[in-house]
Amino acid sequence: MTRRPKVAFIGTGGTLASIGRDSLDIFDYTATDNRLVADAVLDAVPEARAIAEVIPVGFRAVTSPGIGFSDWRELVRLCEQQVAEHPDLAGIVIGHGTATLEETAYALSLTLTVDVPVVLVGSQRPMSALSSDAPLNLVNAIRTAAAPQSRGRGVLVVLNDEIQAARDVTKTSVARLQTFRTPDFGILGQVDGAVTYYRRSERRHAPGTPFDIRRLDALPRVDVSYAYADADGTAVRAFMAAGARGIVSAGLAPGMTPPAEADALAAAARAGLLVVQSTRAGSGAVPLTTRLAERGILSADNLTPQKARILLALALTVTTDPEAVAEIFATY
């Protein structure tokens, strides 16, 4: 008899764990404030235990807007603990709300210390909904985490039968099931019963990065300034006053801001803040133009503003040298 692979399931709440008022409640289900913990999620999806020996790991049961650095730090520690306690562990699945799922996935992809596959999974419809995507998403995430071919690919995101890279994926729709997309490069693979890969990300990822958050109390403050017509730099100056050590500009494509905003960003760079230019466009790399270079502003490459913020904050834990930070953005 073939032995089932062992997979840890860490529940953090989110839509996947949510119970609405009834089966037609697919939008206002957070009003019930009813979310299942990890073992209850597995009880609701018995098929999950049919394909693997799944270890439920309690963590939190919240909506994902409430998840941030302290949770990332604890998840890094918890993944480390699971691997230490279960030497035969094939992989780890983390259930997560979709609102900040891509940010947690990218943060973990830069900070994990374990080399087993770690897969983040969520759903667009609550567990209680008619035609919920939660059960199959969970089963596919477990399949992916258990698959030997998932090793060495960094943190993965699985929804809608698709496997995405944590660095590249982003949520693109409020309600559609195909919300998670990788605009520039497309999916890594698919889960159609079997786990099949077609490409891999070339950017470096954990384990083995220089970013160790296990003993940090907080990340350096980095804020995102969103560009729009007539933006005058007020947000940039407010972030500086609040003690920001870095600012990410979510600029107009291909990486520009209105003149007053550009002046404020340049002033921030002259004051010693690390300033990184990204774009609000949703895809494409920001070119390091002469104008940006002259102002001391770095390129976020093709990272979304929210992910550029994470990488810049982590970079500031190891260096404040602009050239070194630029190399980090070219590497991760």
Same domain, 146 and 179: yes
Would you state the structure tokens that stand for residue 150, as one six-digit string? 């998932």
**305 part of a folded domain:** yes
**84 part of a folded domain:** yes
Would you state the structure tokens that stand for residue 47, as one six-digit string? 């098929």
**179 part of a folded domain:** yes
Same domain, 25 and 103: yes
Would you state the structure tokens that stand for residue 260, as one six-digit string? 């007053």
Same domain, 148 and 234: no
**205 part of a folded domain:** no
CA–CA distance, 146 with 148 (Å, rounded to integer): 6
11: three-class secondary structure by DSSP: strand
Same domain, 187 and 238: no
Same domain, 226 and 119: no
CATH of the domain at 62: 3.40.50.1170
Would you state the structure tokens that stand for residue 246, as one six-digit string? 């870095």
Catalytic residues: 15
Which of 110, 14, 22, 118 is closest to 61 using CA atoms? 14
Residues spanned by the domain of 191: 6-197
Instruction: Tell me the pairing of strands 189-192 and 53-57.
Output: unpaired
**233 part of a folded domain:** yes
Same domain, 186 and 242: no
Would you state the structure tokens that stand for residue 45, as one six-digit string? 């999806």
Task: Look at residues 163, 197, 231 and tell me which one is the last residue of a structural domain.
Answer: 197
The beta strand positions in 208-326, using DSSP E, are 222-226, 246-251, 274-279, 298-299
Same domain, 299 and 151: no
Same domain, 242 and 300: yes
**213 part of a folded domain:** no
**203 part of a folded domain:** no
Same domain, 262 and 153: no
**211 part of a folded domain:** no
The sign of the CA dihedral 251, 254, 255, 258 is: negative
DSSP string, 168-237: T-EE--SS-TT-EE-TTT--SEEEESEEEE-----S--SSS-S---TT-S-PPPEEEEE--TT--SHHHH
Partners of residue 222 on adjacent β-strands: 246
pLDDT along the chain (332 residues), means of 10: 89 97 96 96 97 95 95 98 98 98 98 98 98 98 98 97 98 96 96 96 96 97 98 98 98 96 98 98 96 97 98 98 98 98
Same domain, 229 and 323: yes
CATH of the domain at 248: 3.40.50.40
CA–CA distance, 237 with 244 (Å, rounded to integer): 10
Overall number of domains in the chain? 2
CA–CA distance, 17 with 40 (Å, rounded to integer): 9
Same domain, 192 and 226: no
